[in-house]
């Protein structure tokens, strides 16, 4: 069971590493001389290889070994990054994904021989040179990490500055690896008249506690190895063992080579404090004693706080299966329903003590609900980053120059919404690339930059998230859309279309303006399906475009699909919920308003004509109609529409319940919720009702 858990941990970690690896490779494609990116790619490959081998993915480890070796040559300056190398590296990422997804760990899992041969040729080997089983650095794998304290003695040569090295950046990178203490040794700094500003006279002792392993430390100094002396010594492990006792300063100084054992024993016989004696006798400088004291204190503190840190780390970062989280949300939903019943009962009995308990429970349940829902929220940037590869590959295959810009990657959405949003976004971006952006020569001829831009942005808009896909391409041509619509029998001859009407027609089933069917678009199965997918997420899709300037596709989505804020209304003895996300206001519908409309279902609201839908007629509910009814005014697809009801009860915390397969085709209802008295209220799908009547 434990092995399965560790394998799953590797699969999860590998997925995250591959996403970062693809991003780094695409950046490296634009800046092939960036040594930091090369080192980043190498480290990712090294980690995937080592972890894969440890958990039985030997075939994967052998495949990655050849790629890692090639990038090792690049970082040593013996090999240059080429377009072909990047192309094959990205293809290799796809192969690695397939290998990771192969739960059987079958060694016959596909490894294209041409990829193995390509990377083998770069380092002068053959595909068979890659070992079937790769040695593993256990400190760099995802499981069984050992926290180790290292003593790093960093002695740069005097001319290191002349080679463009910024020592501060190296020290900063070390500090990012873990708990770190740094002590400088300034003894070699000369008097001012002898000092040369271009020379480095200082060396450093660094005491670092990290679980990243020694290779991660060496990677920091990978490009300055020839410009300094580096000594890395493990001085303590925190898995129950230690290299040796390093509680005493004398032992530390002897091991570092600052003093001999004989000198130490001789000094100790004089019965003074060791540090004072050593400095007084001139055996070691005061900075060496200071460094030893820091190391002594650091190791002592690490021992004392290790258990607390381990507990804190487990609390700040923990992986939970999504089905467990879904079950928790379901339980919270049930608790919200029970709390509503308790509040209603307390209000009916009007007992002060019971009312106080109900209020306390309500406060706690709301806090629990908000906290639980926040756990389900994920930044949409994880989805955005996947599209860099899509844009790159399509731009290359179509011969277009395209730049993808992302904004608002930190915007959070419910994990369920994010999971279901991937396919619609892929289709919309492919459409923007294929239909929207022009070829470089066409863009140049129209006075634009040869490189087109697609902007993918996200931001909060009330209790929803607004996602926009914007391109600066050719835009939508209403005349072209009109001709296609006539050809498909969607409109009659002679009908003229506005830009907005042309955009709306694109969402019609089977509509496509592509001249020929390709592997990217043109089959007429697309925008209508995208719209249905967005509406299934209780969202809306809107298109705006200007010919010659570009197109903006806007998706408005709810933050979560589990618990929403709703407006509780009543028609006769039936209760309904309208999501507050679409509600603008509530107004009265009097007999005078009905008479003024002359039989039409419209009302004037502050100078605007607003059409309305009578829910009583829509759902066939019988009973007496009150003299004064209520209209709930909503905004759908940028237009205002009202829903007539007998009474508006008020806000309601709505736990969404599925109606089941038997009610799947019920028009205008998206789900149900349970009220405080145990009765059921149907959740109105205002968007579908509007489009069904339109």
- 560 backbone dihedrals φ, ψ, rounded to 5°: -150, 160
Q: Which of 13, 68, 295, 438 is catalytic?
A: 68
286 Cβ contact list (under 8 Å, min separation 6): 279
- Cβ within 8 Å of residue 90, ≥6 positions away: 22, 25, 26, 389
598 part of the active site? no
Strands 179-185 and 203-210: antiparallel
**240: Cβ–Cβ under 8 A, 6 or more apart, which residues?**
none
Contacts (Cβ under 8 Å, ≥6 apart) of 259: 250, 253, 278, 283, 284
Question: Between the CA of residue 629 and those of 622, 640, 650, 684, what are the distances in Å?
Answer: 15, 18, 15, 18
3-state secondary structure of 475: coil
Rounded Cα gap, residues 629 and 650, in angstroms: 15
Of 567, 569, 566, 549, nearest to 558 by C-alpha is 566
Give kind and range of the element (H or E) at residue 340: helix 322-349
Instruction: Choose the catalytic residue: 59, 388, 431, 472.
Output: 431
Half-sphere exposure of 250 (CA within 13 A, CB side): 15
Q: Catalytic one among 46, 185, 246, 435?
A: 46
Nearest to 56 by CA among 14, 90, 91: 14
The token pair at 259 is 């003093």
Pure H helices in 194-321: 214-220, 249-256, 261-268, 274-280, 286-316
46 is catalytic: yes
Of 193, 177, 73, 183, which Cα lies nearest the Cα of 121? 73
User: Among this protein's residues, is 396 annotated catalytic?
Assistant: no
- What six digits make up the tokens of 324? 């467990």
Report residue 290 as tokens: 């200071």
Q: Active-site residues: which are they?
A: 46, 68, 431
């Amino acid at each position: 069971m434990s092995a399965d858990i560790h394998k799953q941990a590797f699969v999860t970690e590998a997925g995250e590493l591959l996403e970062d690896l693809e991003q780094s490779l695409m950046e490296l494609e634009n800046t092939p001389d960036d040594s930091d990116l090369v080192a980043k790619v190498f480290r990712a490959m090294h980690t995937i290889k080592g972890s894969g081998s440890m958990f039985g993915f030997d075939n994967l480890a052998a495949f990655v070994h050849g790629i890692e070796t090639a990038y090792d040559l690049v970082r040593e300056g013996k090999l240059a990054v080429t377009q072909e190398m990047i192309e094959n590296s990205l293809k290799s990422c796809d192969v690695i994904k397939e290998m990771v997804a192969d739960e059987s760990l079958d060694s016959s899992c596909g490894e294209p021989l041409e990829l193995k041969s390509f990377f083998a040729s770069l380092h002068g080997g053959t595909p068979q040179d890659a070992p079937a089983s790769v040695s593993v650095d256990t400190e760099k794998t995802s499981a069984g990490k050992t926290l180790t304290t290292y003593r790093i003695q960093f002695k740069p040569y005097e001319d290191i500055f002349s080679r463009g090295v910024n020592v501060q950046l190296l020290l900063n990178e070390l500090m990012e690896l873990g708990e770190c203490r740094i002590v400088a040794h300034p003894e070699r700094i000369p008097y001012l008249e002898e000092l040369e500003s271009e020379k480095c006279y200082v060396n450093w002792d660094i005491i670092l506690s990290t679980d990243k392993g020694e290779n991660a430390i060496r990677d920091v100094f990978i490009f300055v190895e020839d410009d300094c002396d580096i000594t890395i010594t493990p001085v303590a492990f925190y898995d129950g063992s230690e290299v040796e006792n390093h509680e005493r300063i004398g032992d530390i100084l002897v091991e570092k080579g600052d003093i001999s054992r004989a000198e130490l024993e001789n000094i100790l016989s004089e019965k003074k404090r060791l540090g004072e004696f050593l400095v007084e006798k001139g055996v070691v400088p005061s900075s060496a004693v200071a460094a030893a004291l820091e190391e002594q204190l650091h190791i002592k503190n690490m021992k004392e706080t290790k258990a607390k840190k381990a507990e804190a780390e487990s609390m700040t970062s923990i992986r939970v299966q999504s089905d467990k989280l879904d079950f928790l949300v379901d339980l919270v939903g049930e608790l919200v329903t029970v709390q509503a019943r308790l509040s209603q009962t307390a209000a009916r009995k009007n007992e002060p003590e019971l009312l106080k308990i109900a209020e306390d429970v309500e406060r706690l349940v709301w806090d629990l609900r908000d906290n639980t829902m926040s756990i389900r929220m994920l930044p949409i940037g994880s989805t955005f980053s996947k599209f860099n590869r899509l844009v790159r590959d399509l731009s290359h295959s179509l011969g277009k120059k395209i730049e993808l810009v992302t904004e608002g990657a930190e915007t959070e959405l419910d994990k369920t919404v994010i999971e279901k949003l991937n396919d619609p976004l892929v289709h919309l971006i492919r459409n923007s690339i294929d239909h929207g952006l022009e070829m470089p020569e066409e863009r140049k001829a129209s006075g634009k930059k040869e490189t087109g831009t697609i902007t993918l942005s996200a931001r909060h808009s009330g209790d929803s998230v607004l996602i926009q896909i914007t391109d600066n391409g050719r835009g939508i041509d209403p005349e072209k859309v009109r001709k296609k619509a006539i050809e498909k029998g969607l409109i009659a001859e002679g009908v003229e279309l506005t830009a907005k009407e042309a955009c709306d027609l694109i969402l019609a089933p089977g509509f496509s303006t592509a001249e020929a069917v390709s592997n990217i678009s043109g089959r007429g199965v697309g925008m209508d399906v995208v719209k249905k997918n967005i509406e299934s997420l209780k969202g809306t899709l809107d298109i705006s475009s200007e010919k010659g300037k570009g197109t903006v596709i806007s998706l408005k989505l709810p933050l979560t699909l589990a618990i929403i804020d709703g407006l509780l209304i009543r028609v006769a003895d039936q209760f309904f919920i309208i999501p507050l996300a679409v509600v603008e206001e509530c107004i009265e519908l009097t007999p005078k308003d009905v008479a003024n409309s002359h039989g039409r279902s419209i009302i004037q609201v502050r100078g605007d004509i607003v059409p309305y839908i009578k829910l009583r007629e829509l759902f066939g509910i019988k009973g007496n109609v009150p003299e004064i009814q209520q209209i709930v005014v909503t905004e759908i697809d940028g237009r205002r529409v009202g829903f007539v009801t007998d009474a508006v009860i008020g806000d309601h915390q709505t736990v969404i319940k599925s109606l089941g397969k038997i009610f799947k085709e019920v028009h205008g209802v998206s789900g149900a919720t349970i009220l405080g008295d145990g009765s059921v209220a149907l959740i109105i799908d205002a968007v579908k009702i509007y489009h069904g009547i339109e």
